[in-house]
């Protein structure tokens, strides 16, 4: 028997979050916060989304044949320039199921034109999307590629520690080298493990071909498991994209290795801007747990994602997409299905209002 009071409560919360966010969006676009004298030193921006999700079988992200409006997100990002070189950044976020919390907050110091360092809780530089994974307006699709979805556990929110960025022009193109070390801040920790230490980096190569970038990111975490033994957890992502004024082509391969349990994911994605308003997109996305039998549909998922976005303005985008799935590894990893209980071929509809200000 469905709990309708609970559903109505969630719907109310969803609507309140959405209305508050859209209200701020309108106010924000009117005020142009960065334009006032006060915001020479301070700035406040925000983003969020409201999703409608329904599947024709299987349960994922709380959606099944019974749709959900329960996946909402709203975040405020603030910055304060203490001096010309020192800036403080913080993000406060909330969703229907989460109380407001700071997801990252750090100090950024610009040493010279090329080198900056950060200290605090810093968003992890991994692949194309990890730093802006919840800012759905800034990417073509509603659902992030599998690499970035919490169920696959490939990427981490942020690290508590220090990091440095180096921008370097080279003869042909330019490099961005990023390195960091500290402790992990994982909002979805593996039960029974603790005391994470991590280090990693990202190399971004902007090639001489306009719009073509290559990227490699890796994070290595030293994990003390329950018996005191320290083991490695490694996440590696190789990325390539080619972006022109209208076309956005992206592809990434990610791999996760922890205690011999390996998983991998890759995708190819194309988005094309037909006009300022319309932007259709297509993605082929795969995920596989390598220790499982190759034909077990609960250990892999292959999906074709087709969708279209309509921009009411650069700050508000309405998107609808359909995921045609083969396999159901993500619902199993999310704990919403058990192995053997799902339907192999299933579809998912995701409609979303995405905004930023």
Partner 1 sequence: MKHFFFTLMLTGMLCSQAAWADAVVIIVNKDNTTGIDRNFISKVYTGEAKIWASGEKIMALDLPENNAERAEFSQAYLGRSVNKLKLLWMQNVFAGKANPPKVVETDEEVKKLVAANKNAIGYISASNVDSSVTVVAK
Using CA atoms, how far apart are residues 272 and 246, in angstroms rounded to an integer? Answer: 6
Using CA atoms, how far apart are residues 67 and 332, in angstroms rounded to an integer? Answer: 19
Using CA atoms, how far apart are residues 22 and 47, in angstroms rounded to an integer? Answer: 9
The answer to whether 353 contacts partner 1 (rule: CB under 8 A) is no
The answer to whether 138 contacts partner 1 (rule: CB under 8 A) is yes
By CB under 8 A, the count of residues binding partner 1 is 38
Quick check: 270 and 249 in contact, CB under 8 A? yes
| Enclosing H/E stretch for 281 | strand 278-289
* Total number of residues shown for the chain: 357
The answer to whether 3 contacts partner 1 (rule: CB under 8 A) is no
Judged by CB under 8 A, which stretch of 6-14, 71-79, 290-298, 319-327 contacts partner 1?
71-79
Tell me the closest approach of the beta carbon of residue 61 to partner 1, in angstroms.
Answer: 22
The answer to whether 171 contacts partner 1 (rule: CB under 8 A) is no
Nearer to partner 1, 26 or 57 (CB): 26
The answer to whether 229 contacts partner 1 (rule: CB under 8 A) is no
Judged by CB under 8 A, which stretch of 28-36, 94-102, 226-234, 325-333 contacts partner 1?
28-36
**Binding residue for partner 1, selected from 18, 49, 61, 108, defined by CB under 8 A:** 108
User: Which pair of structure tokens corresponds to residue 70?
Assistant: 């329960």
The answer to whether 241 contacts partner 1 (rule: CB under 8 A) is no
Quick check: 125 and 178 in contact, CB under 8 A? yes
Phi, psi dihedrals of residue 151, rounded to the nearest 5°: -60, -40
Tell me the closest approach of the beta carbon of residue 138 to partner 1, in angstroms.
Answer: 5
Using CA atoms, how far apart are residues 199 and 181, in angstroms rounded to an integer? Answer: 4
The answer to whether 295 contacts partner 1 (rule: CB under 8 A) is no
Using CA atoms, how far apart are residues 262 and 294, in angstroms rounded to an integer? Answer: 13
The answer to whether 12 contacts partner 1 (rule: CB under 8 A) is no
The answer to whether 84 contacts partner 1 (rule: CB under 8 A) is yes
Using CA atoms, how far apart are residues 156 and 148, in angstroms rounded to an integer? Answer: 9
Using CA atoms, how far apart are residues 213 and 249, in angstroms rounded to an integer? Answer: 11
Judged by CB under 8 A, which stretch of 66-74, 112-120, 194-202, 215-223 contacts partner 1?
112-120
The answer to whether 160 contacts partner 1 (rule: CB under 8 A) is no
Nearer to partner 1, 28 or 297 (CB): 28
- The full DSSP string for 87-113 is EEEEEEEEESSS--EEEEEEEEEE-SS
Using CA atoms, how far apart are residues 34 and 295, in angstroms rounded to an integer? Answer: 54
**Interface contacts to partner 1, rule CB under 8 A:** 32, 34-35, 40, 43, 45, 47, 75, 77, 79, 81, 84-85, 89, 91, 104, 106, 108, 110, 112-113, 116, 122-123, 131-132, 135, 137-138, 167, 169, 210-211, 245, 276, 311, 314, 356
């Amino acid at each position: 028997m469905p709990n309708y009071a609970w559903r109505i409560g969630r719907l109310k919360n969803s609507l309140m979050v959405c209305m508050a966010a859209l209200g701020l969006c309108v106010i924000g676009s009117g005020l142009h916060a960065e334009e006032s004298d006060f915001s020479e030193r301070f700035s406040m921006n925000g983003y969020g989304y409201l999703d409608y999700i329904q599947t024709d079988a299987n349960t994922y992200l709380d959606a099944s044949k019974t749709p959900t409006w329960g996946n909402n997100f709203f975040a405020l990002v603030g910055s304060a320039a203490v001096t010309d070189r020192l800036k403080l950044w913080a993000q406060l976020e909330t969703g229907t199921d989460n109380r407001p919390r700071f997801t990252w907050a750090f100090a950024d110091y610009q040493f010279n034109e090329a080198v900056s360092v950060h200290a605090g809780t810093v968003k992890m530089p991994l692949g194309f999307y990890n730093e802006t994974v919840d800012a759905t307006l800034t990417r073509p699709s509603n659902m992030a590629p599998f690499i970035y979805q919490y169920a696959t556990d490939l990427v981490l929110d942020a690290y508590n520690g220090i990091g440095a960025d180096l921008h370097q022009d080279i003869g042909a193109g330019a490099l961005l080298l990023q390195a960091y070390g500290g402790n992990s801040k994982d909002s979805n920790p593996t039960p029974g493990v603790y005391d994470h230490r991590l280090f990693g980096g990202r190399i971004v190569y902007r090639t001489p071909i306009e719009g073509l970038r290559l990227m490699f990111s890796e994070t290595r975490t030293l994990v003390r498991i329950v018996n005191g033994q320290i083991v490695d957890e490694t996440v590696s992502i190789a990325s390539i994209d080619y972006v022109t004024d209208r076309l956005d082509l992206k592809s990434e391969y990610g791999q996760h290795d922890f205690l011999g349990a390996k998983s991998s994911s890759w995708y190819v994605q194309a988005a094309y801007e037909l006009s300022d308003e319309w932007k259709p997109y297509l993605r082929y996305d795969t995920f596989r747990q390598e220790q499982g039998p190759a034909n077990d549909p609960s250990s892999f998922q292959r999906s074709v994602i087709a969708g279209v976005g309509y921009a009411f303005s650069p700050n508000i985008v309405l998107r609808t997409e359909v995921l045609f799935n083969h396999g159901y590894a993500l619902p199993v990893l999310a704990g919403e299905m058990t192995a053997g209980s799902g339907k192999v071929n299933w579809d998912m509809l995701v409609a979303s209002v995405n905004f930023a200000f």
